[in-house]
Every structure is written in structure tokens, then in C-alpha cells.
């Protein structure tokens, strides 16, 4: 077998990333766009020592679990690799991924019995309150959309079903402006051009709208005309509150640079979680799925078992979303976050919501948490919500030293959750419950909240 060969095989399983799994000549074969129960013809992409990758060319026998793609560019965009699978099956696949990962990496022997069913959405579409569209340049002019899989080639979009209509309207308006006034997109190879991305934030409850234009250079000609056009655009039920120019002149691929210039309106927008108000600036971390965020945080607080005698340490607290939700029903909350702007937002959000039982510290968790523990900060409950890379041994060791009654771990990556779970269980804790929460329908990503109790 070699690259470009056409093969026929039966798909026996579905991987967590949406690829079907079959076997041929003793090798496992991952086939994009297929799922278990199907017989397909596929073209080989790559051949390795122990596995093959391929893409489906013809479905000879379709699975009853298949659904017609809900997006016209899903094959080329790659943003929703599970969109060919019925949603109920997606939830099963994601739960099994969490179970398998906790078992294989974390050594959690009873993972099958402690992992609950995935909490899904009633309508798994139009759920994102933040959209980031890279801008590219084609012969016909500027285009905006998403990167094609494993590349930085932009796939142009006229719609995206994971986001609100207002996001596509903002993207279309900026792209039309670029083409009308001949504003070139930034080129990552030559480092010439201007606009790099269009970044849209929507306040789900407030209906506030922020549009951030990321540019390599702040001197964009006719920018006043773009501002006026955006101000006069009908964004449906959303009200435009902020237009920001973000300047990123570094030769990198970060979504945003450090410099924000408010071109019109306010520096931030507002939204709410579980009845609390939060200010959201361009750099703020704020969960992208509003309805599922409330379910995720609600489950985390339920597992924390808080009352007015408990103190809580919230590690990687961001702008204080979980901290403030916890503060409503506990004695004291201490938040730790490395981003200075996020800590300032957390303090402002605490004041705006009238919560006086919070304290926030800025710095790396691996530095701040051990220091707090040494100074006698002994929380009853630790809530930890790290980035995809998970936590680190220094922070986890400090948590073990503090010996809280329970630890609630909110994770966006089952692999690093499992790795950290192994460390915590070896340090005297037991994982007693976990539930996946589907924050990203039709994608391979899964959020999970887990509870650890001290032995």
C-alpha cells in the first residue's frame, strides 16, 4: 500500500476526533469523514509503520448514525470534524474518550463507573459568543474565514453555524472594506500588509457586541470609513458597543497583540453568568458557550459543596467568573491568575457585583500558590481551571500540602486532566466523580469537571 491508493474497508469504531477506524493488512486505518458501521472506499493519505491515514472517496454502505453535514464547507474548513455524526452519538463518543483517557493515562481503574453521561445542548449550533476569523489574500482580494486543516490557507466563509449571524456580518463588512479600499491582508511569510484577523465578541445575555480588528500596523487608510460602516450595519438583536483596533506588529501567529486602541464606543462589553455581571475586554478569558458555561459552573459549584463556613482557592481564575459565582455561597474566595489585566477585571467584577469576600493575586500559579500556602492560606476547597497544558507539579504539590477537603478540577483537555489526576491520586486524593460537558458541539473538544476527595 502506498500514498494515493484506493482501498476498501469496513469501519469498526469511531475515534474521538471523528475519524472512522478500520483495519487492513494488520494495520489500523484512520479514515476522515466516516464512522462505525460503514463500508467505504478511501484514498490513502499517509502510510506509517503501524497505521494508515486516509480520506473517504465513496460510502458504499452508510451508518444510521450519519447525519448530513450542516455546513457547506465542513469538508474543507475542518472546524467541525464530528459534524457528519448524529449529535446523540457525539455525546457518547466524547464520554468514552474521557473514560479511556482517565484509565490509560490517569490510572483511574473505576473511570467507567464514575464518569457520568456527557451534558449536551438542546440545539447544538450557533453557540459561540467569540469568533476569531483569520484574513487571507487571494487573487480576487481579501477573504476571511478559518484555516484549512493542518495549514494556514484561509477557507473563505459566507456563514458559520457555530457562531451568531452578527459575527459573519462583521467579518463580511471588514473584508468588503478591505477590497473596496485595497487594504491588503497581512502576509505571514513576507510580513507585509495590514489586517490579520477579525475578532468578534457577543454578550449572550446583554446583547452587547464588540468588534476587534487585529492589524500588523495601526496606520490603516480610510479607517474612519470602516468605523462608520460598522456603526450603520444591522447586527440583528445585538447592539454594537465597541470597535477596537488591536496592534500586533510581532512576527508571530498570536490571536492578539498587547496594544488595544478603542476606535469607537467602550473599552469592554458586559455579560452575565449565573446572575452575575462581568466586564469583558478583548484579552479577557470568557467561556465561549454561554448556556453550557452555566451548566459547567453550576456542576462545579455543586461538586464543591460550599457553605458559609468554607474558604475557596480558585487557581487560574481569569476575570473571576468561577470565583465570584462561588463567593455568593461561601465565606471567602482567593483567586490566582497570571494575566494582570484579568486580575484587574476580576477586582472590578467583584466590586460591580457587591462581593466583598474575594481577594485576587496576580502571578504564575506555580509561584503564588505555594507562597499563599506557606503564609497559612488553608482552603477547604480548591477549584482549578487550568489551560490546555494542565497544571504543574509545583502547583499541585502546594495543593496537596494545603490538604483541602476536596478539589474540583475543570478541564478543557482530558489528557492533561488524566495526567494531573494521577499526581493527585498518588498524593492522597481519590477521584469520585467526573462529567463531560459539551462546550463545542461538532468538534472533537470536550470540557470536563471532576471531583477529588481527600482519602
Ordered DSSP codes for 126-187: S-BSEEEEEEEEETTEEEEEEEPTTS--EEE-S--TTB-HHHHHHHHHHHHHHHHTT-PBP-
Answer yes or no: 29 catalytic. Answer: no
Q: Output the nine-digit C-alpha cell for 32.
A: 476522515
SS3 311: strand
What are the residue ranges of helices labelled H in 162-305?
165-180, 223-231, 290-304
Give CA–CA dist 44/55, Å, rounded.
Answer: 7
What is the tens place of the pLDDT at every residue in 209-244? 999 999 999 999 999 999 999 999 999 999 999 999
Closest CA to 355 of 385, 315, 378, 322: 322
CB count, 10 Å around CB of 304?
Answer: 25
So what's the architecture of 95-121+289-454 in CATH? 3-Layer(aba) Sandwich (3.40)
CATH topology assigned to domain 130-273: OB fold (Dihydrolipoamide Acetyltransferase, E2P) (2.40.50)
Identical fold at 6-66 and 95-121+289-454? no
pLDDT at site 77: 83
Closest CA to 276 of 333, 238, 341, 316: 333
Identify the active-site residue in 29, 77, 325, 412: 412
What is the tens place of the pLDDT at every residue in 54-71? 999 999 999 999 998 778
What is the tens place of the pLDDT at every residue in 89-118? 999 999 999 999 999 999 999 999 999 999
Give CA–CA dist 453/440, Å, rounded.
Answer: 28
Q: What average pLDDT does the segment 15-22 reach?
A: 95
In this structure, are residues 422 and 354 in contact, taking their beta carbons and an 8 Å threshold? no
CATH topology assigned to domain 6-66: OB fold (Dihydrolipoamide Acetyltransferase, E2P) (2.40.50)
| Maximum pairwise Cα distance, the chain | 67
Parallel, antiparallel, or unpaired for β 332-337 and 311-315? parallel
Q: Provide the residue ranges of all domains of the chain, joining segments of one domain with +.
A: 6-66, 95-121+289-454, 130-273
Closest CA to 102 of 16, 213, 191: 16
Amino acid at each position: 500500500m502506498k500514498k494515493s491508493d484506493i482501498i476498501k474497508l469496513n469501519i469498526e469504531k469511531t475515534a474521538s476526533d471523528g475519524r472512522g477506524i478500520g483495519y487492513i493488512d494488520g494495520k489500523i486505518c484512520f479514515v476522515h469523514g466516516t464512522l462505525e458501521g460503514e463500508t467505504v472506499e478511501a484514498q490513502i493519505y499517509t502510510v506509517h509503520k503501524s497505521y494508515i491515514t486516509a480520506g473517504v472517496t465513496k460510502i458504499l454502505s452508510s451508518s444510521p448514525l450519519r447525519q448530513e453535514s450542516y455546513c457547506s464547507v465542513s469538508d474543507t474548513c475542518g472546524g467541525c470534524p464530528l459534524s457528519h455524526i448524529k449529535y446523540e452519538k457525539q455525546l457518547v463518543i466524547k464520554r468514552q474518550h474521557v473514560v479511556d483517557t482517565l484509565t490509560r493515562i490517569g490510572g483511574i481503574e473505576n473511570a467507567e463507573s464514575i464518569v457520568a453521561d456527557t451534558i449536551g445542548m438542546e440545539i447544538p449550533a450557533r453557540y459561540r459568543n467569540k469568533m476569531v476569523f483569520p484574513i487571507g489574500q487571494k487573487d480576487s482580494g481579501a477573504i476571511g474565514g478559518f484555516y484549512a486543516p493542518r495549514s494556514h490557507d484561509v477557507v473563505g466563509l459566507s456563514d458559520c453555524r457555530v457562531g451568531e449571524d452578527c459575527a459573519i456580518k462583521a467579518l463580511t463588512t471588514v473584508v468588503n472594506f478591505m477590497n473596496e479600499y485595497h487594504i491588503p491582508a497581512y502576509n505571514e511569510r513576507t510580513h507585509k500588509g495590514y489586517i490579520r484577523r477579525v475578532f468578534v465578541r457577543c454578550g449572550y445575555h446583554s446583547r452587547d457586541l464588540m468588534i476587534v480588528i487585529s492589524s500588523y500596523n495601526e496606520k490603516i487608510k480610510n479607517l474612519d470609513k470602516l468605523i462608520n460602516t460598522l456603526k450603520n450595519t444591522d447586527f440583528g438583536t445585538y447592539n454594537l458597543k465597541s470597535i477596537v483596533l488591536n496592534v500586533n506588529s510581532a512576527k508571530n501567529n498570536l490571536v492578539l497583540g498587547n496594544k488595544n486602541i478603542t476606535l469607537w464606543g467602550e473599552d469592554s462589553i458586559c455579560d452575565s453568568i449565573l446572575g452575575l455581571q462581568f466586564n469583558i475586554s478583548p484579552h479577557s478569558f470568557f467561556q465561549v458557550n454561554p448556556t453550557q458555561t452555566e451548566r459547567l459552573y453550576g456542576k462545579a459549584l455543586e461538586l464543591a459543596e460550599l457553605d458559609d463556613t468554607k474558604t475557596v482557592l480558585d487557581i487560574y481564575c481569569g476575570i473571576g467568573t468561577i470565583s465570584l459565582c462561588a463567593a455568593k455561597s461561601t465565606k471567602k474566595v482567593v483567586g490566582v491568575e497570571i494575566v494582570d489585566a484579568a486580575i484587574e477585571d476580576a477586582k472590578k467584577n467583584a466590586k460591580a457585583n457587591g462581593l466583598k469576600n474575594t481577594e485576587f493575586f496576580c502571578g504564575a500559579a506555580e509561584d503564588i500558590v505555594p507562597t499563599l500556602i506557606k503564609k497559612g492560606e488553608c482552603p477547604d476547597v480548591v477549584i482549578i481551571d487550568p489551560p490546555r497544558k494542565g497544571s504543574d507539579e509545583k502547583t499541585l504539590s502546594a495543593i496537596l500540602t494545603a490538604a483541602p477537603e476536596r478539589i474540583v478540577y475543570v478541564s478543557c483537555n482530558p489528557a492533561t486532566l488524566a495526567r494531573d489526576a494521577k499526581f493527585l491520586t498518588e498524593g492522597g486524593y481519590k477521584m469520585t466523580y467526573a462529567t463531560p460537558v459539551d462546550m463545542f458541539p461538532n468538534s472533537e473538544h470536550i470540557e470536563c469537571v471532576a471531583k477529588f476527595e481527600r482519602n
